[in-house]
């Protein structure tokens, strides 16, 4: 390599690091190669039919940024169905597990790519007390309540509006959850905006307001495989979690304890293959399904995780402004689910769900993480920044 080539390479790396600096805590990421200018699609959002639910048409929206990255999002469940990003050679692949048609999402129980709520994750024994009143919820993860109940926000139709932003094409989705829906008090108006930025990020902005005191903990439930959704398991992916502590529980439901990850299978403070300590993590089925306490100030945007696939070179850095992140290794995928031409077996994809702590409403020290009152606005921002490694 000549000195001129090295200089050009170094300049390219510096520019790319600047594009993702807000989300890349260590070393940054180089920007994926772009297609030649003549071949690049014009940045746009398009819409197409995606079936019907109870006689109501459902739409599928396609967002394309100027670098050729493509995101597809349906207003059923505010769900990301596809996300195509390049590898180190510039080859695009869809890196999210999902289905090729609406029927898969209607029948599915894995929450592929959806916005989950009103309260993401588990509430112990499907009950909580708020302002002196006891509320019973559906025990859809018996005996616990999971991801908003039997018909959470992943199973409803959101209103969708494409919008233009200076950052890139975006889709705004709104949903009104009526008082008493799935046992929750208060009418909540929820809003999610997905933006596919020109810096090769998928930005997810979530908001909610209420007319009565209630609980809100929205989360994006994407399933990631950076080798491509149909490339096998994620056990060789390397993960860093910017979290020195986690919240153990019995089982999968935190009970208020916070413990250091050092010396445990839950230590991802330095990058390591996901499969290295997976069996030591325990669980039934075996794997990770745990909440980690993200380092730093809880309600400021900060680094959460960095995921890399050594084979393809793809890298994803996650930043968010929530107290915790649920790391889940697809333990319950068992090969009975197929989508987009792939069979999703155990560990076929992973989730990094930024969130309030699970069961927070039943832990006095954590309760304020999920309680929303009239006049307040719930806000949750997470950014997935994509790049490549050599």
Which CATH number covers residue 225?
A: 2.70.98.10
For residue 251, the model assigns a pLDDT of 84
* Cα–Cα dist 319/290, whole Å: 18
Structure tokens at 187: 């009418």
CA 52 – CA 76 distance, rounded (Å): 10
Q: For position 181, what pLDDT does the model report? A: 98
Sheet holding 245-246, edge to edge: 259-260, 245-246, 289-293, 324-328, 351-355
Q: Could you say which of 31, 172, 201, 353 is catalytic?
A: 353
Phi, psi of 381 (to 5 degrees): -120, 135
pLDDT digits (tens, 9 = 90+) for 59-114: 999 999 999 999 999 999 999 999 999 999 999 999 999 999 999 999 999 999 99
Residue 82 — φ and ψ, nearest 5°? Answer: -150, 150
Q: What one-character-per-residue DSSP string does 88-107 give? A: TTS-EEE-B---SSHHHHHH
CA 279-281-285 angle, to 5 degrees, is 70
Predicted confidence at residue 43, as pLDDT, reads 43
Contact predicate 137/149, CB 8 Å: yes
**Contact call for residues 111 and 79 (beta carbons, < 8 A):** no
Residue 8, pLDDT score: 38
Determine whether 229 is an active site residue. no
Q: Hey, what are 1's tokens?
A: 């390599």
Q: What is the pLDDT of residue 72?
A: 98
Q: Which of 313, 330, 353 is nearest to 87 (CA)?
A: 313
The rounded distance, in Å, linking the Cα atoms of 136 and 46 is 42
Backbone angles phi, psi at 241, to 5 degrees: -115, 125
Q: Which of 323, 23, 77 is nearest to 202 (CA)?
A: 23
Rounded CA-CA distance 184/149 in Å is 10
Tally of domains within the chain: 1
Q: Which structural domain range is residue 114 located in? A: 3-388
The β-bridge partners of 109 are none
Q: What is the pLDDT of residue 356?
A: 98
Residue 41, exposed/middle/buried by CB under 10 A (0-12, 13-18, 19+)? middle
353 included as an active-site residue: yes
- Of residues 144, 220, 221, 229, which has the active-site annotation? 221
All residue ranges of the chain with pLDDT < 70 are 1-43
For 55, 90, 200, 201, 234, the CA distances from 19, given in Å and listed in that order, are: 44, 18, 9, 10, 27
């Amino acid at each position: 390599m000549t000195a001129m080539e090295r200089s050009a390479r170094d300049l390219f790396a510096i520019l790319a690091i600047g594009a993702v600096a807000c989300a890349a805590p260590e070393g940054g990421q180089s920007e994926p190669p772009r297609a030649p200018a003549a071949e690049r699609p014009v940045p746009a959002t398009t819409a197409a039919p995606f079936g019907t639910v109870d006689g109501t048409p459902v739409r599928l929206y396609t967002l394309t940024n100027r670098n050729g990255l493509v995101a597809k999002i349906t207003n059923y469940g505010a769900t990301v169905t596809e996300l195509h990003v390049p590898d180190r050679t510039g080859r695009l692949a869809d890196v999210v597990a999902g289905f090729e048609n609406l029927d898969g999402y209607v029948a599915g129980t894995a929450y592929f790519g959806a916005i989950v709520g009103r309260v993401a994750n588990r509430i112990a024994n499907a009950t909580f007390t708020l302002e002196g009143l006891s509320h019973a919820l559906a025990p859809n993860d018996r005996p616990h309540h999971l991801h908003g109940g039997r018909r959470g926000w992943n199973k409803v139709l959101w209103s969708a509006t494409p919008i233009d932003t200076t950052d890139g094409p975006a889709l705004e989705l709104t949903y009104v959850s009526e008082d008493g829906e799935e046992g929750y008090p208060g009418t909540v108006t929820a809003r999610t905006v997905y933006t596919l930025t020109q810096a090769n990020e998928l930005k997810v902005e979530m908001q909610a307001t209420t007319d009565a005191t209630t609980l809100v903990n929205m989360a994006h439930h994407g399933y990631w495989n950076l080798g491509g959704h149909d490339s096998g398991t994620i056990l060789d992916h390397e993960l860093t979690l910017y979290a020195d502590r986690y919240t153990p529980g019995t089982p999968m439901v935190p009970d208020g304890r916070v413990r250091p990850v050092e010396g445990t299978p839950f230590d991802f403070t330095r990058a390591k293959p996901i499969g290295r300590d997976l069996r030591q993590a325990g669980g039934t089925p075996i794997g990770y399904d745990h909440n980690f306490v993200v380092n730093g100030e809880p309600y400021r945007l900060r680094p959460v995780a960095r995921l890399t696939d050594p084979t393809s070179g793809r890298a994803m850095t996650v930043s968010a402004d929530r107290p915790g992140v649920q790391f889940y290794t697809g333990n319950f995928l068992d090969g009975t689910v197929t989508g987009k031409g792939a069979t999703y077996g155990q560990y076929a994809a992973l989730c990094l769900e930024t969130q309030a702590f699970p069961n927070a409403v039943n832990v006095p020290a954590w309760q304020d993480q999920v309680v929303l009152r009239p006049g307040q606005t719930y806000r949750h921002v997470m950014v997935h920044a994509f790049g490549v490694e050599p």
